Amino acid sequence: MNILEDTSIKQIITASLKKAISYQDYRDLVQQLVINKSTTGNEKTEALVNYTMLNDRRMKRWDKTLKISEEMKEQASNFNGNVTWLVITESWCGDAAHVIPALNKIAELSPNINLKLVFRDDNEALMDHFLTNGGRAIAKLIMIDNLTNKVINTYGPRPTKATALVNDFKAKHGVLTPEFKEDLQIWYNKDKGQNIMSDALNLLNI
């Protein structure tokens, strides 16, 4: 990345951070959207409204049931960096509903991790700097060093094991079928956030 590009992305990130919200504010917003039968993003289709309702239930479940091992707690507490996890999301995104609660559980363990959320359709310039295979896939985590304001890592849109499942299926079948997407949700439920939390700790190099 050249100096001009580096300056440009710092400005975009700074602008996005000004609009970012906490995890609790995000949960409150999604719950209000369910009450209003609405959704985030530019499109307000019935399908996306229904996905938002489903994701609210998923996040509520994960907030209550995610279990963190003592080893993970120790790893997170030993992190002595100073970072922001800026996550691009939308309330209708199925992967985000599984990923973000798990990221929050890790962030809660360390005062040195600041989890913030922004919406994809409201932050197109940011999203376009962090595409996945050319697509605007979410949830996308951007890890920023708070001392230098430099991007030091990215993560997403899915945990590593789910990504491998998706890539293998696409290689064999070309596209993701509705049946595969159901199987992926079953995988998330069986994994119980463990792969996501492990990935998150690996981001911290601890």
* pLDDT tens per residue, range 103-154: 999 999 999 999 999 999 999 999 999 999 999 999 999 999 999 999 999 9
Give the pLDDT score at 42: 96
At 12-67, the pLDDT tens digits run 999 999 999 999 999 999 999 999 999 999 999 999 999 999 999 999 999 999 99
Q: What is the reported pLDDT for 172?
A: 96
pTM for the whole thing?
0.94
pLDDT in tens, 162-175: 999 999 999 999 99
Amino acid at 114: N
Question: According to the model, what pLDDT value does residue 88 have?
Answer: 98
Q: Does residue 2 register a pLDDT over 70?
A: no
Q: pLDDT at position 1, please?
A: 52
Q: What is the pLDDT of residue 206?
A: 52
Task: Report how far residue 82's alpha carbon sits from residue 148's, in angstroms, rounded to the nearest whole number.
Answer: 10
Beta-ladder partners of 135: 132
Instruction: Give the model's confidence band at 7: pLDDT under 50 very low, under 70 low, under 90 confident, else very high.
Output: confident
pLDDT number for residue 3: 47
Nearest to 38 by CA among 21, 15, 55, 61: 55
Q: Residue 40: CA atoms inside 13 Å, Cβ hemisphere, count?
A: 24
Amino acid identity at 93:
C
End-to-end CA distance of the chain: 26
User: Considering Cα of 56, then 178, then 170, then 168, what sign does the dihedral take?
Assistant: positive
**Amino acid occupying residue 151:** V
- The pLDDT of residue 118: 98
Contacts with 150 (C-beta within 8 Å, 6 or more apart), sequence order:
6, 10, 144
Six token digits for residue 101: 């609660």
DSSP-assigned letter for residue 79: -
